Structure 1
Amino acid sequence: MVRHLSSSYWVRLLLLTLLIGMIPVIALGSLSFLRAKQSVQEKVNDSNMQLLQQTQLNVEQVLQLFENLMTQYISTSTVHEALQTPFSPNNFVLLNELVGGLNKIQPYELGIKNVYVASLDNDWVLSNEGYSPLDTSPIRSVIYEYAKSESRSFWNAYVPGSGQEAEADSGGNQAQEAIPAGVHLVKKLPINRTLSTGLIMGEISAAKLEKLVYNEAEERETLILDSEFRPLTSAVGSVLKTTGEWRPAAEMIRGMPGAEKGHFIFKANRETISVNFTKSNYNGWYYLSFASLDDITRDSRSIGWYTLFISLGTFVLILLLAWIGSKRMYMPIRRVLSVAVDHGAAGDPPQHKDELQVIGESIHRLRTSQTLMKDQLRIHSKQLEVFFIRRLLQGEIRPKETKERLAQFGYEQGSAELASDMPETGAAASLFAVMTVQIDSLDYTRYQDRDVDLLMFAIGNITSELIPANRRFEPVVMVDNQVTICRSCEPDGHDFETELYHYAEDVQRSAEQILGLKVSVGISTPYPSIHDSHQAYKQSLDALNYRLRFGEQAILLYTSVSPESRSVAAYPDWLEKELIDSIKTGDKEKARGLLNEFAHKIIADYLSYEDLQMVLTRLLIDLLREGQEGGESTTEPLPVLGKPLLDHLQELKTAADIEQWFFAHVVEPMIDTLLHQWENRNKKISERLLEIIHNEYDTNLTVELCASRLNYHPNYVRTVFRKETGSSFSDYLSQYRLAMAKQWLVETDMKIGEIAEKLQYQNSQNFIRYFRKMENTTPGQYREKHRID
């Protein structure tokens, strides 16, 4: 029968062994290859950056040497004298000295193509080619263009035949496409003066720059760009194979403002190019080194293949060891399987089950057959016990049935608690008490209302662990309450209440530590007969109602909190009146404070829970009536609460709950509605005042007159108008009259005196003085300036 079973567990064991062995090999090989590849790339990049910086140093050494020679030359008195001299045949000595100086600053190793000295004032230019007038010189356009530059000393690329030649537009295509014939070093003369009368221009050939950036390695190319990202050397070779492939690199550098050097990669002709760049602090040129990333990573590929071969060899070894080891580990399981199948249930052998599943099912059938009936009896017994206690608390069980059920659930064994109900036992008298636990609030906890049932069962489990089994019945859940009938064999009720109080403290402490909940506990008066549990349950609920006075996490014994007699206290009318006044004035902070004072006042004065409910109901009715008499729709937010108002009042457990509920659902909506109506009324008053001004500005208007027409006090009208418009009534009226005066001056032929009279000025001079003060001109001048004939 075992031969028909598939060895699926052995296959899984083999695969697991392979997986455990291969994960480290693959991870180690991959990390080694990636680290080696990264290390190779970093070393090559560092090497390329060093070579690029060496190239930059060589180029700048030549440029700076040439600039130093030129600076020394132009600092001589000969150059200074020549700039002030118009050349003639009589000045051949001075001319020879200038030419001699030019020859000295052009050594062969610097690759200087030519040096030009030009006088703008005396119209001559001198170079290696000799002397010529500036107007007839072939480079006159270049010299004039350089003379316009704001810089007194600068380097610039020279592109022959480009139209602008030396000064190329940074966005121009021609200057970007053409490779310059060289670069110019330009210095305006005299060197230490702001006003230039001449300039000197030295030209270094592009061939010299090409030699300075010559690359010994074929896999690397170097390119120089000027500060406007124009190429100064050729950029076509083994890496950049076509013209213009360098442009994406230039754009990426342009997008990194302030970068002095760096490294990045980009795609060109389906090839990944690695770029190192550095920016010269000397003249702002950019030096770029291009290298193919494939060439850089060529050495790392051999490392990758070597790592792969080592990993494959390790995998073969792990496969062999896993095969042998899993076979040996599987043999004991195979033997146990044969025993389990031979002694299992009759029928066809299982074909698609794991070996351990077959063994487990065989063992499970044996245990199930022994414990199934016992478990079922225990479950049903527990359900019946809970059902019995609920009926007992609800007063729905007869005394005869009570005795039978107590015997069935084993409550009378080893104790004398039922002596009062069953005198035939001959045991001493005992006491009972009902302890009810309620959750104070789910606010600021991680629970929601739908979790109440589960929380009640959790509290029941906590109660079961904290109260010994011989001191209680089974805890049950009644609606939103966890209820436990406690019992004592001692006849002293005072000691029993002390014991119950300690139990309640333990339950409170554990509920807060384990569940993060604050709970209150109500304890009934101890009673001798188990049949009085129904009345005791009501007492525990009544005790919990007095949380209004004691706050959250209270332990309330009915004998302590229940008032012996009802006392009639005076209703705090003055607090209610002040509360209504604060609502009318829109003072939310004061209203909240008065609510707090009202809640603490009634809790201190009214001992009976029923009296407290009556006071809260009266406060609610008075507030709603005040809102309706004042024309407010205060009841609008209340229906969304989903239940009758009196039900909400009964759920208020503390002074803070009273304050919060009344403020959020009654007081605050009334204040918001009043403020909204005030804003609308003020807006209408302001709009009506503006309308009167705009229509009757030419009459003797005063704020008192307008207030009387609107039936409001003048001071109130002034305050509203200033708040709504940001200006006083008189200022706005004067400004509007001024605007009308300006309009009449431009559009009509009315005399200034007529305008002043129509705008209610006593005489024209007062009008003219006000007009001049506001417009800084007289009315007549304003008319002449703005009137269009």
Structure 2
Amino acid sequence: MKKSRYYKKLFIFSLLLSTIPVIILGVLSYYKAASEIEEKVAKENMQVLQQTRMSLEYHLETLDNNVTQFILSPLFTSNYERRLTSKDFVTYRDLLAAMKRFQTNKLWSDEIELINFRENWMITKAGLNYPSETGYFRKYSTVKEIPNSSAWMTISQDNVESVNLVKKLPLLTNEPKGLIRISIPKKEISKLMNGNKNIENFFVLDSDYQLISESRSWNHLLTSDKLINELRRKEMENGYFTLKINDEHVGVNFSKSSYNYWTYLSIVPIGAITKDSKDIGWYTAIVCGIILLATIIAVFLSSKHLYQPILHMYQSVVSHEGSKNILNLKDEFISIRNGISQFQDQIKSQREHLKEFFVLGLFMGQLKVEKINEMVEDLEFNIDWQSLAVLVIQNDVPEKAKYKEADNELILYSIKNLISKSVPIGVRFPPVVLDDYQVNIIQINEKNPKDHNKYLYSLAEEIHRLVQNYHELNIRIGISRPYRNLANTEHAYKEATEALRFYQKIEPRTIISIDDVVLDHTEKSIFPKQVCQELIDSIKGAHTEEAERLINEFMTTVTKDNVSFQQYQNIMVQLLSKLLELVEELNETLEALFGNKLLFEEILRHKNIDEVRNWLTKTILPPILEKYAEKQRSAQINITVSVISIIEKEFTSNLTLEMIAAKINFHPSYISRVFKKATGLSFSEYLLKFRVKKMKQMLRETNLKVSEIAEIFHFNSSASFIRSFRKVEGMTPGQYRKKYHS
């Protein structure tokens, strides 16, 4: 009876544990698929709805533009405000002909009216009429009060509703003198929409949510207050919602026009949308049913198999003293107690497992010194060592490796087993796996302390070779400093993991010691000052290529020696500081050039030299170089302006480039190069050209003799003046004066 009851519980529990996730997965899959299908159909319908809306509005806007062009035409403006009589037949004919051209090949208007309230005349297709004022105000009083210059309105006339484009005349007035109305039958709107075969059940409502397009199958829904109220509540331009009216569940896509305030609708029954999802539901149900059936069979067989050991144990216990003692529970518990005692004895024999737990406790810092000493003695560890060290192994998983990160734990355990078999027990504690590392405490038996690090490196290289040969894995090994007391194991573990974390800062390595990343107090920092100064000078000169070359040279200089991690960080921080000092020299702020970036944190966050080089050349240098280039261009412009100003003021004196250079404190060759680049002329050419210009002015505007003008401009003689003038103008000063006065 006990067997039957326990077996049933085991079977039911296993069945529920297996079937409930399958059922939940099937239900969630169906609802997820149905939701995605409905969303997809809604998006597709919205796209077609937008296309149809744009197509219809294109024709409406074309008609609107045609009417506006007519209102602004000379034909209209010259005739509208005067009174038309039967004598103005030609004018009437021209106006009517122009209005008939409003309709397009896609949009036909059945009625066109041009009305002048003040002069009391109206032009229609039927002719020129003079309506009575009473009838006129009764018919058009609401039209006159439209808030805008034009509007699309639904107007009922003779029990026939039509869509009307109404424009006040003149445009942009609050007191219209008349109006123009173009009436379009609703069937024309429906015809335009029916031309789009990509969407079914497409409708248009006017600004008052009255139906414009024709609909036979959805009149009961389109006139529903529930639908209209839902549309009024929607403030967005486009959207989708579901609605249930009269036991009919539908999906509604809507798009509201900002042009004429119409609402475009696409209504599709939810049943049509979810047709495909129902097929998926049946398919999911069938698959889940098959899985459930297979699960029930598997649970039945596995439960029976799992029950066998319990049955055997029960039979073994109750039959231990023979059939006469089957119901003797005391003897049964004695047998179980004896079994537990035997199991405890087996645990004591599993000394290696206890050793592993002890080692884990050392790494995690969970053991006090007294407990450590006690367990070392109880577990019979070898304590004859000179010093200890921690080796931390990390699996390096490249993008195309044979092993993936999901297998990392299995890989670490395989490395642990390999070390257990390959490295002698006398030189190690039991290897363990902790966090994402395989961790080892190594016993160093070398008596000379200088040989300790050499021994650790050789052992690490041997482990690296073994792992590569047996598992074809790339691993990294971090090594702590040697230590004596087991209580310091936690600190040594942190040192080894710290070495691994920073292994890429200087260069990628497979084996790295904490001494490689921590700077000795006696070590002096090496900073390439000469290269740095050349880099600063190239930046100030706005030489982009030279600056990038010097960045590369700086990095090469830093890495040619085996610098430590702290030393590397100090050098990078110094370099960045000197580059940012240039920003202060420019009177700029770091926020203006680099935003709110934490630059010093960024440069220390990069993994290796190449990343730092790319970051400096792409993030730091470009904005600084651009600012210095702007400063250089501004200085060159100021030099050119200063030179021209001096020439214009002192053109009659014997100006030289050296004289101007002394005045503005720049080297003559630099001024010459900048001036020619800016003006296209050398200094002497520009000076001669300007002086000749002033000479010509004196020849035209004064009666001074040529010799007097030559004396003003400090020529040695009149002949020298004539030669210089002829060189530029191709004629003598006298010929020029004669030509000008003639």
TM-score with structure 1 setting the length? 0.40
Larger Rg over CA atoms: 1
TM-score with structure 2 setting the length? 0.42
